Chain A
Amino acid sequence: MRGLSVFISDIRNCQNKEQERLRVDKELANIRTRFKNEKGLSVYEKKKYVWKMLYIYMLGYDVDFGHMETVALISAAKYAEKQVGYIVTSCLLNENHDFLRLAINTVRNDIIGRNETNQCLALTMVGNIGGKDFSESLAPDVQKLLLSSSCRPVVRKKAALCLLRLFRKNPDVVNVDGWSDRMSQLLDERELGVLTAVMSLLVALVANNPDGYWNCVPKCVRILERLTRSQDIPQEYTYYGIPSPWLQVKTMRALQYFPTIEDPNTRRSLFEVLHRILMGTDVVKNVNKNNAAHAVLFEALALVMHLDAEKEMMSQCVAILGKFIAVREPNIRYLGLENMTRMLLVTDVQESIKRHQAQIITSLKDPDISIRRRALDLLYGMCDVTNAKDIVEELLQYLTTADFGIREELALKAAILAEKFAPDLLWYVDVILQLIDKAGDFISDDIWYRVVQFVTNNDDLQAYAALKARDYMSKPAVHETMVKVGGYLLGEYGHLLARTPGCTPKEIFSIIHDKFSTVSISTKALLLSAYIKLLMHSQPSDPDLQEQIWRVFKRFEGNIDAEVQQRAVEYFALSRKGPAMVDIIAEMPKFPERQSALLKKTEDAEGDAAELSATRLRVQQQSSNAIVVVSQPSSNGSMFAGPLARTTSTPLDMNGELALTVTTMGQPQQTPSQSAAPVTADLLGDLLAPLAIEAPPAVSSPSELVSEQSSGDSSALALLDSTPSLQPIGSIKDWFHTLCFKDSGVLYEDPYIQIGLKAEWRAHQGRVTLFLGNKHVGALGTVRAVILPPAHLRMHLSTVPDTIPPRAQVQCPLEIINLQASRDLAVLEFSYSYGNVPVNVNLRLPIILSKFLQGVPLSPADFVSQWRALTGPPLKLQEVVRGVKPLTILEMSGLFSSIHITVAPGLDPNPNNIVAGTVFTSEARKTLCLVRIETDPSDRTQLRLTVASSDGVVSLELKEFIKEQLLDDSSTQQQMVAGPVSSGLSGPAAALAGLF
């Protein structure tokens, strides 16, 4: 194609980006004009322009026109045009583009037509960018092609993968009952191309429903036997002498989704195969052959782990991995480390892995960050009481040289391990102080709070900790976190060092005060508390020290920061009491006994929480980037693939409106992290807490102090109470909200679990299926799901299993019967644990009023007679709603149809008004509801809403529900004024208004 080549050459010859842009702009302008008078365009030209558009798009320029022309080419009669249309459409558009819907019919015709080439083109496009719409309308046709005996392999393999795509978009398109036998038959396929494609399909199906495809297990094992024995494998399907490594890997992957393999014969054959792979894989010179062979080997290792093989085979695996982590070849070493970490999760091989500790530590210093990460994960996973000291010290040592990419994770992991496995507490204090010293930026407050708690509760730790703190504080440059923890410890326990040289109260004060000018205001406040503690401990005070400290207090009594100011003033006043202040400002008490259980719990949970927050941090970074389409399954084949939740655009652009209703619907959901947040806010309360406990009531303390006391107290409690939690991958609110308008999608997702939801509604009944999908390679335990139904719903949840096996999905049906109209929401209390980290979430279920509505079209006569029959409150309710989101009438109709209220167009003669009808169904009866909205074209932010039905409760609830949907969340004051609107009604509308 000459024109295309010339254009590409032109671009290549551009000297700089600017020239390139000019050339591109010129071309785009040209194409645009040519497309405008399409009549004169030849087939050749059309093709040429569309290819050029793709090229420009690939260069990174926006191509925001010509989509129509491209999609139109799909329906061209000639193959050459059709081909270009299909290919370029697959690149330029994605499943959410509206243009794509226009093509569904053509695509379907190509699929069911007899032209094999067109079938292939259509299957390819649907397989690559088909969305839910395609799923619904094309799945049966695609299935037919896959099963057809008259189709050539080239069509059938495309059909298999196309079906896989459709299944990922909507798992309903493949019915397990009908498909397990068909899949089993398809696995008899001799043609390896088709078989490879079918195997990918099987992996997705089994991952979604491990129990549905048992009959495929023996077939898979037979395929593996055939491949590993090189029986009947055409030359073209061997890769460097290895029978299709891709099919081998896929087949073994499929087998990993079956919980176990019980049939002894099948199991035996499979183990023979696995044994042969484990023993028969050697390192060879040719890189590609070596990679392919090891790809198979690693998959075999994973399968062995999954199958819970005998001890002997397991230790074989560890031995192989041990060999791998020592090799020079980076890829193999990386995979050795990665697979050892996985192995830790599933089996009891800790001891044999420990033998490789030294080797793993070497990898921690590898120049390649990919390897370092794996080594860190593995060290973290294999750490226990026996090796904690070595591992943590190794991590600390590495911390000084580690680059930023890994420091944060390293610091967190070291802190967790130090706390979890500390052989003695002195060591623990050492580790944490070192950590703060070396990586202060990466130390979260939780970590230093922890160390303070330990020191407070252990008398024999206090002098030691104070001494250490003094040493660190004496350094010239100290991280602010160190100033906090050092200041705190020295204030509290500095007096214990009195006999140590260089530790008089005065010296300690000057060590701390040295840093005072460099720290933030909140740290200054903390230091003020430390000063008064110093003063208190040195009673009768050294007048010199007292003078110095008073000067500081005096200087800050006018500080702009209220907290600092208050402390300065109060401490000054208190310190003038002389020895009497000992009664007020006593030493921190131990955390009371009654809290010890809590403390313990926090200890465990917090230990792992930091890990979680490490993960969380990564997740947050990641999810801020757009690629993480939240609902994309992170592991193979988990359901609800695709952007169900996020990116699907509704036919009318209602995203705005959808968003605004969130805040008005029920309580705003607190994410777990938010609930844990207050902890960080002010720990300073801790310092004041003893005031509350120790101060005799007789002492006349300023009233502010009293309130301070209680808040201090509560924050100390909050510190203990806070169960650190896992961050969901995305917004619970958004998911909830999306599900209010859709019947399937994600309800919740975090790094370990995904909860999907699918709902069917029939009149007053509903059936919601919860899909609990374990995304992880370890089992999730103590799974609990409790439904808290509101009064108006009768709900029954079937049993939820206690554990979810690795990468498995569990379905839990929930039956719902609607008794009454209400806007209350049911809540799902969901909890599980991963390792020993408990995770609790409360999720609102999207069972909103509209789920029990069914829109009805109304004839004018029906409407008028009904409307007239219903008069006044409580049956007919009217309200002027202000602060609504400005919507056009069309958008508002769209909003109504999304909540199942059918607008009767033209029934109200005033084009600015809408009348609509719906039927609300409860167990007892159906209620016809009529709705009228009168908008004011001059001010779209207000409208009058009237709802009428034969049941007052229904009218009220429906009115409030609609109001919630209409309100604009940006208007903070949602004023409702009852009464009629006087403006804007004239002519026929006025006449009609009279009627109303």
Chain B
Amino acid sequence: MADSAIRDTPLRAVQIEALVVMKIIKHSSQTFPTIVTGSIVGMDVNGVLQITNSFPFPTPDIPLSDNHKSNQNLAAAAPRAKGNIAYQNEMIKCLREVNVDAQNVGWYTSTSMGNFVTSCTIENQFFYQKEMNERTIALVHDVSRSSQGSLVVRAFRLSPTFMAAYKEGKFTTESLQKSGLRYQDILQELPLTIHNSHLLTALLHQLPAKPPTTELQFPPNLAALRQDPSVTQMPLAPNFDSLDLSIDPFLEKSCDLLLESIENHHTELNNHQYYQRSLAREQTKITQWQLKRKTENAARVAAKQAPLPEDEWQKLFKLPQEPSRLEIMLNSRQVEQYARQIDGFTAGVSGKMFAVKSNLLPGEAQ
């Protein structure tokens, strides 16, 4: 087999079956706003990852009286939980029997307002890329943004440089300089396409029932028009949710999230400053000690005594540990995500607003 050749080509794109889209939407919207996770299976064909099926992970049973927060964390950490790995293996074994592509190619998670760049996501994906298979991806479905009209599903991987850094667990300033890792490079996004099977295409063509071939009579009155069975109630498209003019909820939510991120950033910066200060303090102590030892040695040499060792300070003083910069990096990446999201939103909404304005004030359009 050309296995090695396949290994060498990096993943270029992700192709996701309509079935998977629907399953993920169903699973994540059922339990919204709790985060849900699940596994995806598929095949890697010449660098294009074809995702053909998915199944949800069981959420751990926790009594409702429990803290909501801990519940969320548990759900988000589900892909790495030991029980779920067994569950996943069992499920995949079963799926193989009915000719489903039984290769684990990653996991999916639901999110709200793009709030997915967390250490949990990173840990999950790291786990997948390290333990399971290097060629795995994380699908992120944004439930609250999808309800605004356009589906938001994205595919991410961890970049090799980040993987290396995370493996070592070192995110000090020094190691970051050496590797040149920036927060923009933590996640790599892969282009995503939705793919339909032939049968599904056939189904879609007949889902909103075919228009009647015979000429229709005009309805005699309004009531008849409303009850006409050939007026389809729920067509698949067009979907006018994206024409919705509500602006405030989105902006408010985004601002809140941004604030939260800034707050986090600030806390992390304070941690670093504290570290810097204590480092400086220790270092002045060390220099003082070294100076003292030097003068002492000079005195001892003058007195014809053996000099005392000068590197004893390493035992006496302990330099503080630099806090990891990982949190800051993830936070920065999250801010970037929010900012881009707001950009996209404002682009659409300002267009809609001008359209409404010129519609209501036709005279001023020119």
Is the A/B pair a real complex?
no
- Residues of chain A touching chain B, judged by Cβ–Cβ distance below 8 Å, are none
